[in-house]
Structures are given as structure tokens and as C-alpha cells.
Structure 1
């Protein structure tokens, strides 16, 4: 069975008492999301209204942005393994600054695409580097009896969610001035992140000596069949979360005739994450992945099933926003249970080697699932249609079943002499 290492005796150290590199990584995630959500939610409006682009061109730009970010995470992960967390993280910040500056002054499609690719690729560098840094710092904190790696990832999810709530509010205020001003402010946020990490960020090369090249990391991932199965099963998680942007507006249109309540739904999501994420992550860590992972994905399935059931009820049988609110709450509860465990299991599945490449491939697989799944579901989505919601419920249920089997299968023993000369701590039979 997949097994996490024993809990430390003192797992509830406040974040402000964590080591400076860890605090810097957490605050960087907050600032990264603030800067990102300052600009990206308003990009489509800027392209259509200010630059008078046709709808299909706006779609092309947004698609390029998603691919250059999510689709290239595996590149950022492999580069992190090769050069270390700090250089890749700082490079990602610098590229994001350049990207936002270009977007702020771009007046034609070619320059818009240049700025879009830069901003997307910056995240493909930054995010795997931060995840890898948190994974290695989390292991050291577990060894010191300070906190668990799963709880550290839970804190990371909280700061990300707070940042994604603050960013759009500030962006809406700045957009009243100009889109250029918004982009320059966002660029300034990333300058602060760059300087902070240059001063206090992780400095050590994680995971022992650097491999000879980035291809080594990708080769290790492709040979790790257990991890590839795990990745495929967990990719439905990002697809499910992406329905906050695709399916939820359709449900709001059905229930209220408009999408005006969408902003309030993101406030509900932030409230659930901030209040429930850390306690549920601790509970899931105690229960172990064999119990908590299937449960978390099953709860996610319930979120979609609730809306599917609501569409079959007569009009007025429920308060208009009740299905949408229930969907948001239950979806984020499922994510709070499973999300930190998924990220916590990557290093042991990788046997603490080429961790960045494994995180990058996990993220890119999620992006591919979003591309394929949302394309298929989007063709079926319309107000009042239950079928797409039922399909979206089936996918995480299948993942839950697969993870129930995977987490109970014995893992191959770890080999000595890896992870910097220490015995690798791969998945082992559970207690």
C-alpha cells in the first residue's frame, strides 16, 4: 500500500514560525496568484473591447496561454531537477515580468501572443519549482518533527486561494484606470517576488547531485509505471476544478438567467478553502491515502451529481442558487481532502528523485485532461442538461475506484543509494 511517513510529534507549527525559505515560498504563491488574477480574468475583455479582436481570435489567445502554461509544466519540472529550485523560480518571475510588460503595451496580435506565451511559460517554470521546493522543505520539516508535508501543501492551497480572491478585486479596480496600468502593477508584484526569493528563498540544490540533463528526469517518469497510473487517475481532479469556469456559469444561467452570481461563488470557494483546507488535510493525513484519496474523489463526484439531480427537479423546488452553492462547497471539500495528499505522494512515488519532473508531468497531464474533457463536456453543456453533469460525476468516481486499488497494491521496495546517498523512502506496505 502507499504509505506516508509517520506524523511528527508537533505538527501544528504556525506558518510564521516556519523557516524563512518555507515562508518565502508560501508568500510567493500568494503573490503569484495575486499578480496572475490581476490580469488574466480581464484579458478577454481587453482583447475584445480595447483591441477589437474577433471572438475566435480571443479564443486562440486564451488557448495559447493555457497551453504555454499547463502544457509545459513538464519542462519547468525537469529544469528544476537539473538546475535547482531557486534559479528556475527566479527565471520564472523574470519571464512573467517581461510577459506582463509586453501584454500591457501590445497593440497587435503578434505582440499579444508574445506576451501571452511569456506569461504562460513563466508559470510553467515557477509552479513546479515552488512545488519541488515545498516537497523538499516539507521532508526536512517532517524529519525535524515540525509539520507534515501534506499540511505544508494544505497551507499552500490556502494562500493560493486567498491570492486568487484578492487578485480579481484589485484587477477590477485597476481596470478602471487602464489595462496597461493593471499589467504594470502585476509586473511589479513579480519583481517583489523575485527580490524576496533572491534574498530568502531556498538555495540548496534539492534531491542530491543534478542529473546529466533534463532528459534523465523525463526518462525516469516514463519508466515509473506506478506514477503514470497515479497521474492518469489524478488528472480528473484538475478537470473537475476547471468546471468552476466552464460548467458553473451554465448552471447559474439556468438557475437565475444570468452569471452575475459567479463572483459570489468564488468567494464561497475561498471561504471553504480557508476554513476547511488545513483541518481536512490533517484528517486525511491521519487516515492515509488508501482511505482519504478515494473518499476525496468520491466527494468531488457527489458535487456534480447534486447539480445533475437539481436539473431534474421542477422549477422553484429549490432556492435558485442552492445547487450552485452546494456544488462549489462540496467540490472544494473533496479537493481539500485529496489535493494535499496527491501532492504529498509524488516524492515517494518518485523515490525522492527527479521530483520536479514528476510534478511537472502530473500538472501537464491535468492540463491535457482539461483540454480533452472540457472540449467534450462543453459540446454537451446547456442550461438544464443533466447529461454533462452526470459524465463529470462518473470521471472522479472512476478515479476513486482506481486509486482504491492502486493505494492498496504493494509497492516495489526502494533502492539504497538514492536521494543523496540516503535510503529512498518509496511507497511501502502500510501498518
Structure 2
């Protein structure tokens, strides 16, 4: 028993190290893509949105295949290969002087994420008990926020010299993460038994409640991805400096470091996971709807702060809900399919957001994209409320009935 406890403790330390490198590598370059190609090079936001959306769709939409491969072959080989592919995709961004190169680089990056993301998420389930899982996920999200601001600040500083340095730094961080996984991560199995791909995929696809729940989360992610597309463009335009994007992520970090973990500890004893998810999504929706009323930088940053507060409430609840619903016989497959909402919502958020942003700008309807986002948020809230209140017994209904520690 002591050896199991020691393995779990060491596994959690490794996950925190691995997560820090991944977050730094991602946020060094990703928030600056829209600034580089839309603001600096004058490309259409819809083109850049298409490239970002295809990365999201490739990584998350094919997550079921990545998760099923991890159930079959274990976590380590999938994570190492995936991180090297991500590094290659980010390095090739330095050569992007036409839309097709940008799109190819983003798709290659997405394929890498498709391989490493589901097994990394499944390792969280393996290394934590149900009682501590929600708090550990909250701790990782605090780390995400701190890593995001450090990465964005580093990327903004490198962008003032050369965009190629931004891309090469991101690639180097993912190479380092791949090396750490290759040297330090034992060859763990993710599920209780080694499943053929077909069996793992069938197991999760038969769970109708889980499938509908993760599909409904598409609307949540349509809102969430705007911190990578429309909000950085708006902040840069209003501030007149790309460094202001770093301030945006610094605000996220400040809110997460000061509030995310205490909020999770306080709310888990008083509110169910679905209640916390709905409350956070409501704040996110309200903040985006009010963006057209922000005519100066302080007002915009206040609304971005409300949006990040909503994320801090919703994200730990959303991720804990998903891990609580995963079948131990096919953890990789469940965590792979759980990303389908991010795939569809990310694609719609990037492509639709970019198109609406261009339409609003050229048609003199600047409020249009934000009102559409508000409508998406309201429809998602209604769909989630309906699922959590369905009369037939299910694990979702059980989780909505009481707080989960």
C-alpha cells in the first residue's frame, strides 16, 4: 500500500513538471498567432481562425483515436511521439509565409496533441484518488494560468525581436518535455486491462449520456477559445501594443493564483459540480456580451477579469465531472472522446469568431460577434441544465445531487 501511495505522489510531481513545460511551450506562441498574421501581416482573421480551428479539430476531434491507442500501447510512447510532433509543428510556423503553410503547421501541431493529450489526462485519474482529484485538477489549473502568463510574456518579448524566435522557443520547450517523459515516466498502463482499440472506442461510444454531455460542452469552448483569437486582437488594438496581450494573461494568472484553488475548496463543500459549471459559464457569457460597451482599456480588462473568474469557477468543475464519469476499463478512450466538445467548439469558435470579427469590422457591426457568442452561451446553459435535471437515473444525475469533495 505504501508503494502505491509513493508511486501516486511521485506521479503527481511529474505531472506538474510535465504540465509546466507544455503550458509554457503552448502559450509562448499560440496567443501571438492572431497578432502576427492578422495585425502585423494583414491577413484576414477568418483565414487565421481556420488554421487555429483545424488545429483544435485535429487534436481534439481525433482524441478518441489517441486515447484508444494509449489504452492499447500505454501512455509513454504516445506522449513522447506526440510532443515531438508538436515541436515540429511549432518550428514550422517560423516558415509560414502563406496560408497553406500556416494551416499545415497548425494541423501537424494538432496531430501531436491528439497523441499526447488523452494519455496525460488519463494519468491524472491514475495518480489521484476520487477525494483529492478535484483539488489536484484545480492546482494544475493554477499552474496553467501562471505558465500562460509567463509564456505569453516571453512570447511577446521575443516577438519584438523576431517571430521565428517565438516559434523556435516553443518547439524547444516541447522537445524538453518529450525528453523528460522519455527519461522519467514509467511505462504505465492507463486502463485496468489492455484493450484493443476497437473495444475501447466501442465502450465509450455506447455511453450515450457521456457522449451527449461532452457534445454539449462545445458551446462552452466556443466562448473559451476567444482568449486566443478575438480578445488578443481587441486588447492589442485598444492598447496599441502587443505587450498588452501579456497583461491580459497576467490578469488571468493573478485571478487564478489568488482565487482558483480557494474557490474550488470553498465551493466543493457547498455546491454540486454541475452548479459550479453553470455558474462559471454564466459569468463567461455575461462578460462577452458586454464587451461592445467597453470603450477604453480599463473597462475591457474588467470584463476580461469577469470572464476569467467564470473560467476559474467552471473549469475545475468541468474537468472533474469528466474524470468522474470515465470508465476505468477504458480511461484513455473516455478522456480522448471527452475532448470532442473542445474540437467542435474550438473549430466553430475560431472559424466562426474570425468570420464574425471580419464581418463586424467591415459591416460596421462591432457588437455582432459578441452578441452571437452570448446567444451560444445561453443555449449551452439551457442544454446543460436540461441534462442535469433529466428524471432518469444516471451518473450525471447523481453528481448533480450533491457536492463532490
TM-score category of the 2 structures, normalised to the smaller one: 0.7 to 0.9
State whether structure 2 residue 288 is matched by structure 1 residue 304.
yes
TM-score by length of 1: 0.76
Partner of 1:94: 84
> Secondary structure, in 3 states, of the residue corresponding to 2:328?
coil
Q: Kindly tell me the number of residue pairs found equivalent between the two proteins.
A: 388
Asked if 1:233 is matched to 2:207, the reply is: no
Instruction: Give 1:340's aligned residue.
Output: 316
Identify which of 181, 189, 193 aligns with 1:197: 181
Q: Deviations over 1:239-273 (max 9, x none)?
A: 1112223443575589x485764432222122112
| Counterpart Cα distance in 2 of 1:100 and 1:249 | 20
CA distance in 1, matches of 2:171, 2:228: 25
Q: CA deviation at 1:32?
A: 1.0
Q: 1:89-128 alignment to 2 at 5 Å?
A: 89-104=79-94, 115-128=105-118
RMSD, aligned α-carbons: 3.7
Q: Does 1:39 align with 2:39?
A: no
Match for residue 14 of structure 1? none
Gaps of 5+ in 1: 1-16, 415-424
The answer as to whether partners of 1:295 and 1:400 remain within 8 angstroms in 2 is no
Task: Say yes or no: does 1:398 pair with 2:379.
Answer: yes
Over 3 Å counting, the alpha-carbon distance change for 1:133 and 1:41 in structure 2 is same
Shift of 1:84: 2.2
- 1:15-34: CA deviation from partner (whole Å, max 9, x where unpaired): xx972221211221111121
Instruction: Report which of the two structures shows the higher radius of gyration computed on alpha carbons.
Output: 1
CA offsets, 1:171-230, max 9 Å, x none? 3444466555544433332232223223333542122112122x3333223221111221
- 1:136: which partner in 2? 126
1:161–1:376 CA distance, 2 compared to 1 (3 A): same
- For residues 372 and 179 of structure 1, what CA distance do their matches in structure 2 show? 27
In the other structure, the counterpart of 2:4 is: none
Residue of structure 2 in register with 1:281 after alignment: 264
Within the candidate set 60, 79, 89, 2:69 is matched to: 79
Give the Cα–Cα distance (whole angstroms) in 2 for the partners of residues 209 and 325 of structure 1: 49
Over 3 Å counting, the alpha-carbon distance change for 1:388 and 1:230 in structure 2 is same
| Native 8 Å contact 2:63 2:340 kept in 1 | yes
* Bigger Cα displacement from structure 2, 174-183 vs 241-250: 174-183
Assess, with a 3 A threshold, how the Cα gap between structure 1 residues 282 and 402 changes in structure 2: closer, same or farther: farther
Structure 2's unaligned 5+ residue stretches are 1-6
C-alpha distance in structure 1 between counterparts of 2:8 and 2:169, whole Å:
29
Tell me, in whole angstroms, the C-alpha distance in 1 between the residues paired with 2:49 and 2:278: 35
**2:247 matched to 1:264?**
yes
User: TM-score scaled by structure 2?
Assistant: 0.80
- Please say if residues 193 and 329 of structure 2, whose CA atoms lie closer than 8 Å, have aligned partners that are also in contact: no
Partners of 1:272 and 1:97 in 2: how far apart?
A: 30
Q: Secondary structure at the match of 2:217?
A: helix
Counterparts of 2:38 and 2:401, CA distance in 1: 55
Q: Which secondary structure does the structure 2 equivalent of 1:148 belong to?
A: helix
1:11 paired residue number: none
SS at match of 1:271: helix
Q: 1:165 to 1:99 in 2, by over 3 A?
A: same
User: 1:205 aligns to what SS in structure 2?
Assistant: coil
Greater mean alpha carbon deviation, residues 275-284 or residues 372-381:
372-381
**Residues 222 and 349, structure 2, Cα contact 8 Å, conserved in 1:** yes
Offset at residue 57 of structure 1 (A): 7.0
Residue 39 to residue 365, structure 1, CA distance change in 2 (3 Å): same
Q: Which residue of 1 aligns with 2:200?
A: 217
What residue is the counterpart of 1:28 in the other structure?
A: 18
Deviations 1:346-386 (A, max 9, x none): 23323333232222223232221232345445425447744
Greater CA deviation, 126-135 or 177-186?
Answer: 177-186
Identify the match of residue 301 of structure 2 among 325, 339, 358.
325
CA–CA distance in 1 between the matches of 2:164 and 2:288? 39
The answer to which of 201-210 and 177-186 deviates more is 177-186
Show the counterpart of 2:338. Answer: 362
Structure 2: distance between partners of 1:332 and 1:125: 28
- 8 Å contact kept, 1:135–1:347: yes
